[in-house]
Amino acid sequence: MDEIDRALIVATQGGLPLVLRPYEVIAGKVRISETEVMTRLKSLLDSGMIRRIGAVPNHYAIGWTANGMTVWDVADEQVDRLGAVVGALSFVTHCYRRPRALPAWPYNLFAMVHGSSRDECSAKAEEIRLLLGDACRANDILYSTKILKKTGLRIGG
């Protein structure tokens, strides 16, 4: 990544312009050609620096009103194998291993589940619990009750 890529991030992190030729508008801001904007975005996508280009919906507004962060205390020697299994479930949108913060926080595996109701989320959590079996010592589900902020990355211009 060079200075021009960085300038491209600053120019697009707030979103793409909603105009007929959005890449031309970005090109004007970054002072490169429209073609170069597209080429650079393509290589940022190919290298994984951009995960994807598209719309980010507000879950609540599109009917996913129950959003639960399921958290699990899984035996250290099994968490990587089981994390991969949980991550492969079709209804899990994010799955990570994270450090515990003892004694306040004993959980080391995090998996996000979504539904139209809390019952739907807890049924999904129950599927995860069955998969984890005895390797799981404790678990919880933290429902989100409000989006306080959702702007995404903002680096300085």
Least distance to other proteins, CB of residue 19, Å: 8
Question: What's the closest the beta carbon of residue 31 comes to other proteins, in angstroms?
Answer: 18
CB-based contacts of 113-116 (< 8 A; 24+ apart in sequence)? 113/67, 113/68, 113/70, 113/141, 114/59, 114/64, 114/66, 114/67, 114/68, 115/64, 115/65, 115/66, 115/68, 116/63, 116/64, 116/65, 116/66
Name the residue nearer to other proteins (CB basis): 104 or 130.
104
User: Nearer Cβ to other proteins, position 133 or 142?
Assistant: 142
Amino acid in the structure at residue 81: R
Q: Provide the minimum distance between the beta carbon of 63 and other proteins in the complex, in angstroms, as a whole number.
A: 3
Judged by beta carbon, residue 31 or residue 150, the one nearer other proteins is: 150
Nearer to other proteins, 12 or 132 (CB): 12
**Alpha carbon distance 124, 97 (integer Å):** 19
Nearest distance from residue 134's CB to other proteins, in Å?
20
